[in-house]
Amino acid sequence: MKLYQSASSPNSRRVRIFLAEKGIQLDVIPVNLGAKEQFGADYRAINPRLQVPTLVLDDGTSIAEVPAIWRYLEETHPATPLLGSSAKERALITMWERRVELDGFAAVMEAVRNTVPGLKGRALSGPYDYEQLPALAERSVLRVKNFYVDLEDRLAQTPFVAGEVFSVADITALVTVDFATGGIKLPVPDGCPALKRWYESISSRSSAGA
Amino acid sequence: MKLYQSASSPNSRRVRIFLAEKGIQLDVIPVNLGAKEQFGADYRAINPRLQVPTLVLDDGTSIAEVPAIWRYLEETHPATPLLGSSAKERALITMWERRVELDGFAAVMEAVRNTVPGLKGRALSGPYDYEQLPALAERSVLRVKNFYVDLEDRLAQTPFVAGEVFSVADITALVTVDFATGGIKLPVPDGCPALKRWYESISSRSSAGA
């Protein structure tokens, strides 16, 4: 089993933290996004969407998309569950992780891809070129601010994003906060004590360095 | 178990088709989106994201987000699997369904929400108001056209979107094609024989009427 990924890719980090939490060892193959290696014929054969990360099984099957990779790894390495321990818990973790991804992570990604000069003409990842939309980037920043308000509300009620246990919802939320801090200069705002407490706790786990 | 949903909501239809394929009966509660019932206090208590559908369990737990609802229903009603029958198949179905959702379904939704007069100031669902962006709607139409190209390529290779078996990837793809046809006047284009063959086959299942 091999993981094609990039050190600078927030989606790759979602998988790296998952692997670190579960103690899974596998071959990690770097894809050099700066050198546009993801557009080359070799990587296109692995993932025609030209995105990282991609998990390649020993039989050659490519599994792309972070939730799909997580699902495969969880089912083949069930110890230390990160997707939940019952049907209800798995559904709630799926729900919370997805809210964090769509409202937070995707909004930060949209803000970055629609503004960074190096991504001109590449406002969306994948095989097609799309022009950047400055008005969309502005809207994305508003969305990230609203995401922080909602996450503060949630973490004032529960220790972890999906409830009582650490899960993939916390992984995506941590990657989102760090991506917003570095990518669009929107760290955890003042006046969010629950979010600050959670962030300090999650950041201090050894997996956060992954 | 109750499903709060709307007859006019494409996301609700993704769950209705799933229920019909599996033969699951449950209480279906209509939410009148035209009358803005989703913004009322009653529905806000069920789903603070103000979106349909939401599955409410007998213990009062709310499960929102289509993939989370599917996951709960599949695990509690395993007959006629629609999410896959092995770890590898489940991962591949997760991957293909997600690609259809992000590249196709979400692009149609974005085109509709950023143009329909009745959704002025409501370019995204949820508790926050965002202005429509006409340039974004134009980009969404390009994305839907590219989605059709990719789906034709895929269905020229496999009978169903995720491979050899009918799955949730076909459900989201069917809802996407019908939504694009009705919502932005982009039906299956000419010159897509595999997509046409697939569409006719999937549309003829009795679940398609759900």
Chain segment A136-155, per-residue pLDDT in tens? 999 999 999 999 999 999 99
Tell me how close the Cα of A90 comes to any Cα of chain B, in angstroms: 8
Alpha helices per DSSP H over B50-133: 66-76, 87-99, 106-113
pLDDT tens sequence across B77-104: 999 999 999 999 999 999 999 999 999 9
pLDDT tens sequence across B148-178: 999 999 999 999 999 999 999 999 999 999 9
pLDDT at residue number B15: 98
CB-nearest to B76 from A68, A71, A87 is A87
Band of the pLDDT at A182, cuts 50, 70, 90?
Answer: very high
Decide if A156 touches B, using CB distance below 8 A: no
Band of the pLDDT at A124, cuts 50, 70, 90?
Answer: very high
pLDDT at residue number A13: 98
User: Which residues on B lie below 8 Å from A68 (Cβ)?
Assistant: 91-92, 94-95, 98
**Cβ <8 Å between A68 and B126:** no
B27 φ, ψ to 5°?
Answer: -70, 125
Domains of chain B by range and CATH?
2-76 (3.40.30.10), 87-209 (1.20.1050.10)
| ipTM for the whole predicted complex goes beyond 0.95 | yes
Closest alpha carbon within chain B to A87? B72
Please state whether the predicted TM-score (pTM) of the whole model is above 0.90.
yes
User: Which residues on A lie below 8 Å from B90 (Cβ)?
Assistant: 71-72, 75
Cα angle A80, A81, A86; round to 5: 140
Give kind and range of the element (H or E) at residue B82.
none
Closest alpha carbon within chain B to A60? B88
**Single-letter residue type at A153:** D
CB-nearest to B68 from A72, A91, A124 is A91
User: Which residues on B lie below 8 Å from A65 (Cβ)?
Assistant: 94-95, 98-99
Over residues A117-121, mean pLDDT: 95
**Cβ <8 Å between B61 and A88:** yes
- Burial class of A79 by CB neighbour count within 10 A (0 to 12, 13 to 18, 19+): exposed
What's the mean per-residue pLDDT of chain A? Answer: 97
- Burial class of B48 by CB neighbour count within 10 A (0 to 12, 13 to 18, 19+): middle
pLDDT at residue number A43: 97
Band of the pLDDT at A163, cuts 50, 70, 90?
Answer: very high
User: Which residues on A lie below 8 Å from B53 (Cβ)?
Assistant: none
pLDDT at residue number A96: 98
Closest alpha carbon within chain A to B146? A128
Closest alpha carbon within chain B to A68? B91
Over residues A188-210, mean pLDDT: 97
Point out the residues of chain B with pLDDT beneath 70.
Answer: none
Tell me how close the Cα of A101 comes to any Cα of chain B, in angstroms: 12
What's the residue count for chain A? 210
User: Which residues on A lie below 8 Å from B143 (Cβ)?
Assistant: 124, 128, 130
pLDDT at residue number A107: 98
- Burial class of B37 by CB neighbour count within 10 A (0 to 12, 13 to 18, 19+): middle
CB-nearest to A130 from B64, B128, B139 is B139
pLDDT tens sequence across A18-60: 999 999 999 999 999 999 999 999 999 999 999 999 999 999 9
What's the residue count for chain B? 210
pLDDT at residue number A125: 95
Tokens linked to A5: 């990924």
Tell me how close the Cα of B204 comes to any Cα of chain A, in angstroms: 29
